A and B are shown apart, each in its own frame.
Chain A
Amino acid sequence: MNRFGIPDLGVGIGLRPVHFGQILSGSPEIDWFEVLSENYMDTGGRPLFLLDQVVERYPVALHGVSLSVGSTDPLDREYLRKLKELARRTKAHWVSDHVCWTGVLGRNTHDLLPLPYDEATLRHVIGRVREVQDVLERPLVLENPSTYLAFASSTMTEREFLARLAAEADCGLLLDVNNVYVSAFNHGFDASEYIDAIPADRVVQYHLAGHTNKGTHIVDTHSGPALDVVWDLYARATARTGLVSTLFEWDADIPPLEEVVVEARRAHAHRRTAAATGTEG
């Protein structure tokens, strides 16, 4: 069990509008859903109506893309208020976002932009994570981003930055195994060493996904199945953390629900191995 006592929900998939009909008419065998927070904060229409029905049948967690925890702009208090309200409405087991920034000077690029990994940035992000946790009144769970550039001013590795951030801000981690692979390719580091350096007791959730290899770099497109090498990294990670809620993301050329579920279920074999080796979460 992670240090926060957040439960292992099993294997889930990202809740996408294209699947609402199949989910609500067929009650497919999926352990839980991850809900994109911003899609439901400002709508009173069909999406929220359908989300309420999903929440009645399945456990959910919220996953955001606009917290911008690394930005030098002030935190958006209205956003946090709405996020807290959505978490209450959906009985979300946890709330996650990314170690990144999305904009400054009041603008939002709607991208998950990379941070320099240095002491000043670490102190800045730690302070903001604490602030967010005070508002949400729960631990924040932060995901390692996929990145396409690295700053010359970085003085530590991403994994060191994450480990120190989690320890000093006392937050949880969402380990996106595909992002580790993508960033390892783009920056030339060892993905296995990264996985081994993540503090196991802080991992609350895993992400798995497909990606697109452009030859010179890999883009985290969330398209198609995950590569075997990503599954191998997941197996390596679960051997350390034990059973942790796992989620498969598919956002480009989204296939029928059954296909996403089949891909997600590949996680079960690795979870059984983790359980058998006695590393139960």
Chain B
Amino acid sequence: MPSLALGGLQRWMQAVIVHPAERTREALASSEAAALVPPERLGDVVLPSETLDPAERVGIYHDMYVLRMEEALESDYPGLAHFLGPERWRQLVRGYLEAHPSRSYTLNVLGRALAEHVLAARGVSHAGFCRDLARLEWAIVEAFDAPETPILTEASLTAVPPEAWEDARLVPTAAFRLLSLHYNAGSYLDSLRGEEHDHPLPRRSPEWVAVCRRDYAVYRLPLTRPSHRLLGALAEGRSVGEAVEECLLRSRPRPTGDQIFAWFREWARSGAFQSVEV
């Protein structure tokens, strides 16, 4: 067999390494790989060692690929990996890598499409719950890596004249994320914090949550439906007056003024906003 030029050699080796088959010999026989190097000619391309034949040597890279990706995704999705267990997690990762291979120099963004992928993935029970869990964990990842922006200070709040608040707009920080979940994903993540393994069963139960970062620490703020509605309107750029009015109109029971002030205090304290535009 004439030797492959460097480009062909690299296309062949990559086709084998990233193939989702568990067994390397199956990956070597895949149509993409075999078109470049027929399996029976492998010895013309890769040398044996004293202890390993060429297929076993390629297999070292093939096996390490999935392990490395699994490890990277698990660091972003510890809750989802825990919920699925090793077997189903590995199956999910293999399918995900086939659909969404890494195309970046960094592994930081590898998991960005997992929440959508999980809905249609084979072998995943409670897919809706898994999607919500993945959405929440990815929001935490994004908040962790977001650019640092200033946090709204007490001084800038008190500098706003009372009559200006109605038209004022609050600017969220770069790390701020707001989620509306259909399942109890936040409660599940909470249950992973301690040593106990008493996790809630997945159930359809709406949860609203904001993810914020302050002093480089990421916080999850549980919200109610009205507070989520208000925070969402503010984050979209509505004025404080418009957002509060809409929240009061659409919420039953209506939140009280004291409740709304308490929400604002907590959001400001947690680093949800960077500035107020008057």
Contacts and interface: CB of A to CB of B under 8 A. Distances in A.
Interface of A: 38, 41-46, 48-49, 66, 71-72, 76, 79, 101, 103-111, 113, 115-116, 120-121, 124, 148-153, 186-188, 215-217, 219
Contacts of A151: 9, 45-47
In order of increasing CB-CB distance, the 3 nearest A-B pairs are A44-B147, A66-B105, A149-B57
Contact of B65 (A106, A109, A152): A109
B216 A49 contact: yes
A263 B174 CA distance: 41
Contacts of B147: 44
Contacts of A38: 105-108
Given A38-B105, A153-B45, A217-B52, A110 B69 contact: yes
Interface stretch (B10-18, B124-132, B181-189): B10-18
A116 B6 contact: yes
Contact of A104 (B14, B45, B54): B14
Contacts of A150: 46-47, 49
8 contacts: A41-B106, A79-B105, A104-B11, A109-B14, A110-B69, A110-B72, A111-B61, A152-B44
Interface string B35-49: 000000001111101
Contacts of A105: 11, 14
B146 interface: yes
B108 A42 contact: yes
Given A42-B109, A45-B144, A107-B103, 4 more contacts: A42-B108, A45-B213, A72-B7, A216-B52
B64 interface: yes
Contacts of A124: 6
B102 A110 contact: yes
Contacts of B175: 45
Contacts of B64: 111
A116 B14 CA distance: 14
Interface size of B as a range? 35 or more
Given A152-B44, A187-B49, A111 B106 contact: no
Nearest to B43: A152
Chain A interface, DSSP helix/strand/loop, else mixed:
loop
A46 B45 CA distance: 46
A108 B45 CA distance: 22
B3 interface: yes
B158 interface: no
Given A42-B108, A76-B105, A216-B51, A149 B4 contact: no
A101 B10 contact: yes
B49 A152 contact: no
Contacts of A149: 46-47, 54, 57-58, 60-61
Contacts of B68: 110-111
B104 interface: yes
B43 to A, nearest CB: 8
Contacts, number: 129
A149 to B, nearest CB: 4
Contacts of B46: 149-152
Query: Looking at A106, A107, A152, which has the most chain B CB atoms within 10 Å of its CB?
Result: A152
B159 interface: no
A71 B11 CA distance: 10
B145 A42 contact: yes
A150 B108 CA distance: 31
A276 B54 CA distance: 46
Nearest to A125: B6
Contact of A153 (B4, B60, B105, B108): B4
Contacts of B9: 116, 151, 153
Nearest to A219: B60
Contacts of B60: 148-149, 217, 219
Contact of B14 (A44, A107, A188): A107
B47 A107 contact: no
Nearest to B50: A188
Nearest to B47: A150
B51 A108 contact: no
A100 to B, nearest CB: 11
B47 A152 contact: yes
A148 B61 contact: yes
B250 to A, nearest CB: 35
Given A105-B14, A148-B61, A44 B49 contact: no
Contacts of B277: none
Query: Looking at A106, A108, A115, which has the most chain B CB atoms within 10 Å of its CB?
Result: A108
Contacts of B146: 44-45
